[in-house]
Structure formats: structure tokens, C-alpha cells
Chain A
Amino acid sequence: MRLRALIYPALGCLLLLCAWEVLGRYGLLGKTFPALSQVLRVYEDAPRRALLGRSIIATLGSAATGYAVGICLGVATAVFAHLVPLLRGGLDRMAVLVNALPVIALGPVLIITVGREDAPAALAAIPVFFLMYSSTGVGLRGASERLGMVLRTLGASRWQQLAKVQAVAALPSVLSGMKVAVASAMIGAIVGEWFGAPSGLGLVVLNSMQNFQIPLLWATVIVIAAITLSGYGLLTLGERAVRSRIGECDV
């Protein structure tokens, strides 16, 4: 049963990759759709491999910075809104507003405020902030109301209620937010690099497209997808572990 659960997806992937190779090799989808083998050859080419390596480091740096900053700000703001209910309405609307701003439109503004080099990190931080603000808020409010009543009756302070119950109950939701935010941070960083960052995967994507280096373009996109998927997968494992550790809140 377990084996079958592994075999079918593996077979499916293999089939897709074969289809890719065949479609590319015979040029069935046009010149911009290269064969898989052609794309993989990019990774064997030393100068291009070096280029990709440098770019990965640059993009990962900005994405990780934006991701970390967005998580810290988002979680902190959500906790603050939770502790000061008076401000919650306003903070909710502010977060929605920040999220509604199109990232592309913000680019030029960020370049003149934080500069070309930091624009990718800033653009990564914005959607991460919003995702973490809302997932943390949902998690904090999702704690059992009865449990809150028991704690208040026992004489727990607001802070104790947060530390003993709500923060723990919010963990699965926080991790689930972090999982979704991985892709947002990567998108933000890559788009941010289009506004003239000195290096990064976004820059490689843009340059290879404009110079018609089709296999390099595809090779870069595969790298981006691989990074995003591994982050997502890692956090899925983390979320699962936390959920089973915390148990279902069926109270």
C-alpha cells in the first residue's frame, strides 16, 4: 500500500518528463520549448553553473531576509493587535491595504526609498508580512473560548493567557502561514530584482529572456521552483510535526 503510494506519483512524474523530452526534441511546441536534456546541459556548463550559483546566493539572501523580516513583523503585529483589541480594527485594515498594493507598482517607490540592492528583500517582506499577520491572528483567535474562560476565572493575566494557551494553539496556523509565505518571498525577491538589482535569479531570468538564451531561462526557472518547493516541503513536515505534538483542539 505504502509502496503503491510512492510508485504512482513517481511514474506520473517520469511520464511528464518523458513527454517534455519528446515534445522539446521534435520542436512540437515551438523554438521556445527546449528538450529537457538541453536544459539539463546548462548545469554541466561551468561558467553558467557559476552564474547560477552566484545568483542563487543573491536571491536566497534577499528572499530569506524579507521572509525573516516579514515573519517577525507580521507575528509581532498580530500579537500586538491581539493584546490591544482597540487597535485591531485599524491594523486589520492596514494589513489588507498593504496586501492590496500591487507589488509591481511598489517597485519604483522602493527603489527610491530603500535602494536597488534592498528592494528585493523589501518586496519579499511585504506579502510575507500580510500572510503572517492574518495566519497568526486566526490562530490566536482560534483557541478555545472555554479555555479562555477557565483561565480568566483562575486569575490568569492577559499575558499568561497568551503564553499558556493562545500562543501554543496558534502554532499550527503560524507554521501553515510560513509554508505559504515561502513562495511569496521568492516571488517578491525575484520581481524586486527586475528593478535593477546587481545580481540574482530574477536578473538571470530577465537577461536570458531578452537574449533568447532559452535553455538558460528554463534552467533558472527550474532552480527557482526547486528552491520554493523544498522550502514548502520542509515547512509542511514542520507543520505536521507541530500539529501532532499539539493535538487536535476539539475542546
Chain B
Amino acid sequence: MATLALSGVTRSFLRRGARGQRQSFAALGPLDLQIADGEFVTLIGASGCGKSTVLRLLAGLDEPSTGQVLINGQHPRDLQAQHSLGIAFQDHALLPWRSVEGNLRLPFEVAGLTACAERIGELITLAGLEGFEHARPAELSGGMRQRVAIARALALRPKLLLLDEPFGALDAVTRRRMNFELERIWLESRPTTLMVTHSVEEAVLLADRVIVLTERPGRVRTDTRLPFARPRSSQLMRTAEFHRLVDELTANLEIA
């Protein structure tokens, strides 16, 4: 489990200006954000506000231009090296030539561990893929592939789980079902989680806290703690409180 701290983080990129000269433009920040141990936080904001940049910074795939990103007081690269991060994207990014089992073994191989059959079996049960152990990704539905990708992210019991629009490519019905599946999977180990999404409903349904980022350069506009108990049900989505929060957060998103 991890405590996460972003302080004064900015990220700017170089791009070509109108006359071909190089210009720096700010994509993110300054951003200050703390996430406590075991919290599930969703990050929403307009397109291009730097949500995915935040995720890449935490994954150690990118460096901030200024400021500091610390996970348990350590640099994300250190957590990478300790194999303590898990990540899943909108595109499942599974190895097409490996079976479900083979894909789930990948994190263990990378960490130089032998994946015991018991743990792999556990992950397959967790992802609800019994009977599909030997299927290739091409033989699975979109929802099943995402479940494999999420199970792979959780394989090494990461201290921090990063999810970048994991259900963005799924149809509405599958997506709803996957939301509840994710909560069930998440509740088994409750890793600190940051999830980027475009869907306000999904954000409210899953999170302990919802953070709305401003338009570029992204900063924290609102930080809302949700009062709902877990596990959450489809009942919750029919309550007035749920709808009030979704409306409020959607309004926050739309402020120009």
C-alpha cells in the first residue's frame, strides 16, 4: 500500500509555433495532490487536461518538468524497479501470442519470480475466467480481455494500481458490469488506486474520492469525498444522492 504525494508538479512540452520556432507549452499544473493508503481515487477532466500525464508520471514513464512525485517517499522509478506498480490501459495490451495464463505469468517473469500455479489460478478466478486459461486474447471478448489486463496489473500485489480509462472501449452494458467486477476485484486486496476516466458516473460509482481537473494546464478544481459504503450496488445508482453528485461533478467539468 502506498501514500502518494504530488507537490507543485508541472509538465510542459515543446511544440512548434506558427513560424516553426520551438515553444514550450504547459500541459499540467502546478498540481498538488495527496492520496492516502488504500484509497480509490478517480481523476476526471476535459480532454487534454493532462489526466493521462498524471498517470504516466506516477508510473515512472515520464518526468515532471518541475515539482516532485513521491510514492511512499520514493521516486516512481524505484517502485518500478521493485515491481510494485500495476497498470492497465484502455487497449488491453496483452501479448497476442500468449494464452490468458501466459499473459498472467508475464509480471512474474519480469520480476524474476516463478509464478506458482496457485497464484495464477487465483488470478484467473479473480478475473472470472475459469475455463479460458488456455485461450488467446483474440478468442476473448473485449470485457474478458480487460479483466485479464486488470488481473495482470494486480498479479504482483502492487502498492499502487494505475488505470487509464480501462473500460473506455467497451459498450455501455459491458462497461457497467465491468465497473462492479472491478470493485469486487479491488476489494480483495484494496491497493491504492488512481483511475482516469471520462465517465462521471463510473467515477462516482467506483471511487472514495473524485478529483476534477481544470482545462489545460490541469490543476485540481474540486476534490470530492464520496459518502457511499462498499460494496456498491446498482441500487446506489438510482438514489437521489448519487444523481446529485454526478450532476454536481458534471457541472464542475463544464466550467469554462
Contacts and interface: CB of A to CB of B under 8 A. Distances in A.
Q: Do A and B come from one complex?
A: yes
Interface of A: 144, 146-147, 149-156, 160, 164-165, 168, 245-251
Interface string B79-108: 011111111110111111100000000110
Contacts of B93: 144, 146-147, 149-150, 251
A101 B64 CA distance: 46
Contact of B111 (A155, A249, A251): A155
Contacts of A250: 96, 138
Nearest to B90: A146
B80 A251 contact: no
Contacts of A156: 110
A149 B96 contact: no
Given A155-B111, A168-B97, A250-B96, A149 B89 contact: yes
Contacts of A246: 96-97
B97 A251 contact: no
Q: Which of B82, B83, B106 has the most CB of A within 10 A?
A: B106
B61 A149 contact: yes
B109 interface: yes
B82 A249 contact: no
Contacts of B110: 151, 154-156, 160, 164
A164 B87 CA distance: 17
B80 A152 contact: yes
27 contacts: A144-B91, A144-B93, A149-B56, A149-B59, A149-B87, A150-B87, A152-B59, A153-B59, A153-B61, A153-B85, A154-B83, A154-B85, A154-B86, A154-B110, A155-B82, A155-B83, A155-B84, A155-B111, A156-B110, A160-B110, A164-B109, A248-B96, A250-B96, A250-B138, A251-B91, A251-B94, A251-B137
Given A153-B85, A160-B110, A251-B91, 6 more contacts: A144-B93, A147-B93, A153-B60, A154-B107, A156-B110, A247-B137
Interface residues of B, number: 32
B96 A247 contact: yes
B138 A247 contact: yes
A245 B97 contact: yes
Contacts of B84: 155
B162 interface: yes
Contacts of A249: 96
A133 B245 CA distance: 57
B96 A165 contact: no
Contacts of A160: 109-110
Interface string B57-70: 00111000000000
Nearest to A151: B110
Contacts of A149: 56, 59, 61, 87, 89, 93
A151 B162 CA distance: 13
Q: Which of B80, B89, B97 has the most CB of A within 10 A?
A: B97
Nearest to A242: B97
